[in-house]
Structure 1
Amino acid sequence: MELRHIKYFLAVAEELNFTRAARRVGIGQPPLSNQIRDLEEEIGAPLFRRLPHGAELTEAGQVFLPEARAIIAKAEHAKALALRAARGELGRLRLGFTGSAAFSPIVPSAVRSFRRAYPEIDLTLQEAYTTLLLERLDAEELDAVFIRPGRADPPGFRTHSLGEEAMVIALPSGHPLADAAALPLSALSAEPFVLFPREAGPSLFDGIIAACRHAGFEPILGQIAPQITSLANLVAVELGVSVVPSAVAQIRVPGVTYVPISGDGPVARLALATRRTERSAVVQNFVARVLADRNNPG
């Protein structure tokens, strides 16, 4: 039994006339009659009584009619869902983000905008280090990730640049330099640095170290924070100073003062990464939404 048989049956059942039904479905009347006979043979019972000037449903046809309508409705529904999925309107999106990326206005704006545009997408979020996010992306456990990238795309991934932000110095509020309007990195040459593990964000870590060396000193590495968002708490208890993306300064921890860097300082790059072989319409829609919102967060 094929869908065309069901459609032919419905046309005859609703027209109660083979000629009009044939015209409605766009085939000749003899082929339509043959198709109905094939359907009746497959079912094992007549569905119509042929009359001199039309047709009427048999008892079997009357029972079959609502089921046939339900089959066609279900098929149309399935077709509509498939088309919506092909357009990326249905499905799932598993997003990852670094702790510092969450403070960039681009990230919440893009996620909020996407959810409004595609409310039926099952969207989940995971926070992790850049290195771990890329591992999960490669393992197809995540679909797109907001990361702090290096200068080049990691192998196997495509990154979409979302811009750069300046980094700032985080000082204990009681530090002698905390009242400065701005400081060169060289002012921190004798200070222990509170940093996150390099594996948490290699490009960000390396950028801070390189900036310090460019400023003429080798940074003193002190306490290691479990993640970048924990740095402020360690600075607050005077375990050292730190350098963080300016967006992280939104973390208002008592006892921490943020001071701009004067002169050359490191920058924090933000990017959205996807698999280079990604073909999902949902992911493509999200990338388009992020890039559209990149210059207009809100």
Structure 2
Amino acid sequence: MDLKQLEYFIAVAEERHFTRAAQRLNVVQSGLSQTIRSLEEELGGPLFVRTTRSVALTAAGTVLLEEAHRVLDAARSARMAVTQVHGLARGRLRIGAIQSLAPFIDLPTTLGRFRDAFGGIDIELRFDGSANLLEEVRDGHLDIAFTQPPAAPVADVVTKLLVCEGLVAVCPPKHRLAGAHDVTLADLAQESYVDLRTDWGMRQLIDSAFADAGLNRRTRFEVNDMGMLLELAAQGLGLALVPESIAKIRRDDRHARPIAFADIAESEEPCWEIVVGHRARSGEAAGRLAQAFLDVLVQPAGAL
């Protein structure tokens, strides 16, 4: 058993889906499946119950998940301790990000924890559109960027998928689609929409999904704020397509107008993705800083 096997196992356990886990790890699905099978053979039994739509942990898998997290956390702590010894006492870390990271990535908390661990490092943060951020990393103007996956690989930049989450259709509780499952894009094309502006990555993802399906849809309102998008959808002024995590936060807000959402059929579901990118030459000081920041990002609270 090695760290890579445990990382692959955790990805499948958390995603409950081999395809999404493979996307998250940036590996081919056949290689991921073989790694999991090898791990199961080594441990003497199945770790997952596989169905046509998803996977679930067995009792053994549930036990292993807790231990796997503990082992990987210990490995990251060891790497960070060595990193601190090797002289990251001074320097500058330049971070770029798109606007819509929350609730997927808690950037403010990660920045605070990184400052506590590496107090001598100056941190710069700026937000930009997804089209520019990885080029800024390539050109040396940023050390690390949280953004959408590029349409084509960017030279000298390594990306890792952090988030892959399906979209849901947000609507008022009395809407005909409220609580529906396996809704098709053809069903959704009949509705009017509240959309983000066309320069937002999420809007581009949605437009591409409908265009690839040969479908047109009508946008009634176009806004530049996620909160306003959800509020207009809650008022019944049009459907909004957003990641499920965002819809759930809004649904649990007792001070806001109630909303519901419909699940899109898995075969047609657009997937909202966030990657982190840094320069390929990780041996440089900037690369070591970027890796240290990623270690802080995934380290459990209280572990530093």
Question: How far 1:240 moved relative to its partner?
Answer: 1.6
Asked whether 1:257 is paired with 2:260, we answer: yes
Give the aligned residue type for 2:146. Answer: F
| Structure 2 CA distance for aligned equivalents of residues 155 and 230 of structure 1 | 37
Contact persistence 2:159–2:277 (CA under 8 A): yes
Q: How does 1:17-32 map to 2 (within 5 A)?
A: none
Match of 1:236 in 2: 234
Match of 1:98 in 2: 98
Question: How far 1:86 moved relative to its partner?
Answer: 7.3
The range that moved more, 96-105 or 229-238, is 229-238
Residues 243 and 255 of structure 1: CA distance in aligned 2, closer, same or farther (over 3 Å)? same
Give the aligned residue type for 2:193. Answer: F
Cα RMSD (Å): 3.5
Question: How far 1:168 moved relative to its partner?
Answer: 1.7
Calculate the TM-score normalised by the size of structure 2.
0.56
Give the aligned residue type for 1:263. Answer: E
Residues 135 and 216 of structure 1: CA distance in aligned 2, closer, same or farther (over 3 Å)? closer
Match of 1:290 among 273, 290, 294: 294
Listed as ranges, the gaps of 5+ residues in structure 2 are 1-82
| Structure 2 CA distance for aligned equivalents of residues 276 and 98 of structure 1 | 21
1:212 alignment partner, SS class: helix
Deviations 1:139-195 (A, max 9, x none): 655432210113532356432222412222222344232243553333211112222
Deviations 1:85-118 (A, max 9, x none): 9733322223222222232147566545533432
| Structure 2 CA distance for aligned equivalents of residues 88 and 291 of structure 1 | 14
Deviations 1:38-87 (A, max 9, x none): xxxxxxxxxxxxxxxxxxxxxxxxxxxxxxxxxxxxxxxxxxxxx98973
| Structure 2 CA distance for aligned equivalents of residues 127 and 156 of structure 1 | 21
Contact persistence 2:167–2:242 (CA under 8 A): yes
| Structure 2 CA distance for aligned equivalents of residues 155 and 221 of structure 1 | 36
Contact persistence 1:193–1:240 (CA under 8 A): yes
Contact persistence 1:165–1:267 (CA under 8 A): yes
Residues 242 and 156 of structure 1: CA distance in aligned 2, closer, same or farther (over 3 Å)? farther
Match of 1:281 in 2: 285
Deviations 1:237-286 (A, max 9, x none): 43321211223223445243333222320101111123456775244333
Deviations 1:1-24 (A, max 9, x none): xxxxxxxxxxxxxxxxxxxxxxxx
Match of 1:205 in 2: 203
1:180 alignment partner, SS class: coil
Contact persistence 1:90–1:120 (CA under 8 A): yes
Question: How far 1:226 moved relative to its partner?
Answer: 1.3
Contact persistence 1:87–1:281 (CA under 8 A): no
Asked whether 1:271 is paired with 2:269, we answer: no
| Structure 2 CA distance for aligned equivalents of residues 230 and 141 of structure 1 | 33
Give the aligned residue type for 2:184. Answer: P
Q: How does 1:94-173 map to 2 (within 5 A)?
A: 94-105=94-105, 107=107, 110-111=110-111, 113-134=113-134, 137=137, 141-155=141-155, 157-173=157-173
Give the aligned residue type for 1:168. Answer: V
Contact persistence 2:135–2:154 (CA under 8 A): no
1:235 alignment partner, SS class: helix
